[in-house]
Amino acid sequence: MVPAKSRQATPWRPKRAMVLAAGLSLRMRPLTENMPKPLVTMAGKPLIDHALDRLAEAGIEEVVVNVHYLADQLERHLRQRKSPRILISDERSKLLDTGGGVAKALPHLGDEPFLICNSDSISSGGASDSLTRLAAMWEAERMDSLMLLASSAHSLGYDGSGDFAMSPDGHLRRGKEREVTPFVFTGFSIAHPRMFKDCPAGAFSLNLLWDRTIAAGRLYGLRQDGVWMHIGSPAALTAAERYWEIGELNF
């Protein structure tokens, strides 16, 4: 028998995730006139499969995917996957935005912290390791949400002035008016279900809950390795495919 002092606890990791895939994809037209954005291909693979493969590599066992625009197409595609297990959160009748979409799916996500990710977020270089590091940093006692961040200097498809400033201990705050902040949210985060306590009914943005979490001092961040790519438009898709092929950032 291994002595108690020499045993190592199994590192915690989330078992469930939510993939946000229900948007109208207006900025991606004309590519999305006849297909939902998650099925647009990048480097020969639908965007949603980039996200789901990354989650599977990180050990996620079950994923809830919300659907709205051209939902039948997306559901048919997802039925072909073997891993991770897919559950559908149907928003055909009403689009619930990011926060409302996750809130609707909470009964499928359980009582433990879970991952949330965007279906149009792709990373290159250390991608799976970043999710492992995110799980290793998670501390439920002091965090309600932990975001994976990228340097705006190593991001494609993002043209803002940054999303967050981060203190040495990982605390996040919003950028002040006209302040250039160095970190961009990659679309991947760990959330505790308690973050959704007393959340609004119906459609609302996750930003509402993140602002509430910032005010409570319980929003943290971790910088990812590699390049983050936001596939939000045909131009961003072209730039991402160029980087994927030759590894050259071209802004």
Domains identified in the chain, total number? 1
Residues 230-248: tens digit of each pLDDT: 888 999 898 888 888 776 5
Query: Cis peptide leading into 107, omega within 30 of 0?
Result: no
Note whether residue 231 is domain-resident.
yes
Note whether residue 126 is domain-resident.
yes
Query: Cis peptide leading into 30, omega within 30 of 0?
Result: yes
Note whether residue 5 is domain-resident.
no
Q: Would you state the pLDDT for residue 158?
A: 76
Strand partners, 229: 122, 156
Note whether residue 194 is domain-resident.
yes
Note whether residue 30 is domain-resident.
yes
Note whether residue 78 is domain-resident.
yes
Note whether residue 251 is domain-resident.
no
* CATH (domain of 135): 3.90.550.10
Residues 101-119: tens digit of each pLDDT: 999 999 999 999 999 999 9
User: What residues of the chain score a pLDDT lower than 50?
Assistant: 1-8, 249-251
131 lies in which domain range?
14-246
Sign of CA dihedral 181, 187, 193, 199: positive
